[in-house]
Amino acid sequence: MSFVSSITAATLAKDIRLEWRSKDAINSMLFFALLVVVVFSFSFDPIAEESRQIAGGLIWVAFLFAAVVALNQTWARELRNQVLDAYRVSPAPANSLFLAKALGNFLFVAILEALMTPLFIVFYKLRALGPAWQLIPIAALGTWALVVNGTFFAAMSLRTRAREIMLPLLLFPISLPSILAMVRATTAILTGEESAKFWIVLLVAYDLVFTTGCLLLFETVLQAE
């Protein structure tokens, strides 16, 4: 196990260092999410009560689109200089590589969310009527749900034409239940009308099912060449 975690830690540290120096993923995600917020805010211009109803959907759609931008860069970076081929022949377990990539993406998307949320609050005049602290586990579980499958499908779409288009085409249909759960949970808390408990449980179940699925199948997909 320590073998797995040391490789995971090394790969994760490498990705964070690369990102820290280039800031490619974060910058493009941030700017993209900002554009989505501005476009939505132009097209709806809601009053406070309406924005409580729709903000959950808008926030998650913005994060979803922005996350795709980062996810697309996950593996593309490893194609240069045949790094991915080196991973394939190395004795390192495939899952430690997958976990490092998924954790890295989780971190980047979480940073994006932390930076964009204040902007959403300002633009949409949001104030939660329900228990606001629950938004933190919802955000964490929802982000993991997007990122774990996204990392997996990004590895899959490496072997396709029109790679960048392929990722959302694979990711969105499978993610529909988790997107529904994130949006409904966020709306439930913002409006304070109902409990978000069912949706949080659903997100936990979704995360467990698909994390297991990814870990079981990733090696097969990585070696498929």
Partner 1 sequence: MKRVFPILAILTAVLLSYAMYQGLVVAPTEKTMGDVQRIFYYHVPSAWTAFLLFAINFVASVIYLFRRNPKLDAVALVSAEVGVVFCTVVLVTGPLWARPVWGIWWTWDIRLTSTLVLWLIYVSYLMLRRFSTSGQTPVLAAALAIFGALDVPLVYFSIWYFRTQHPQPVIGGGGSIDPRMLHVLLINWLAFMCFAALVFWSRYRAEMLQREVEEMQSLEALLEPRGAL
- CB of 77 vs partner 1, minimal distance in Å: 19
Of 184, 186, 189, 196, the one binding partner 1 by CB under 8 A: 184
- Look at residues 90, 105, 115 and name the one whose alpha carbon lies nearest to residue 154: 105
Size of interface with partner 1, in residues (CB under 8 A): 34
CA 30 – CA 161 distance, rounded (Å)? 27
String marking each residue 111-130 x if it binds partner 1 according to CB under 8 A? --------------------
Range 197-216, binding partner 1 (CB under 8 A): 198-199, 202, 205-206, 209-210, 213
Concatenating the DSSP letter of every residue in 124-147 gives HT---SS-GGGHHHHHHHHHHHHH
Residue among 97, 156, 190, 200 that touches partner 1 (CB under 8 A): 156
Amino acid at 154: A
> Do 12 and 103 contact (CB within 8 A), yes or no?
yes
User: 126-159 burial by CB neighbour count: b if 16+ within 10 A, else e?
Assistant: bebebeeebbeebbebbbbbbbbbbbbbbbbbbe
**CA pair distance 154, 89, nearest whole angstrom:** 20
Give the range of 4-12, 105-113, 117-125, 155-163 binding partner 1 by CB under 8 A.
Answer: 155-163
159 makes contact with partner 1 (CB under 8 A): yes
Q: Could you tell me which stretch among 13-21, 73-81, 93-101, 168-176 binds partner 1 (CB under 8 A)?
A: 168-176
Least CB distance to partner 1 at residue 118 (A): 29
DSSP code, position 93: -
Residues of this chain that bind partner 1 (CB under 8 A): 149, 152, 156-157, 159-162, 166, 169-170, 172-174, 176-178, 180-181, 184, 194, 198-199, 202, 205-206, 209-210, 213, 217, 220-221, 224-225
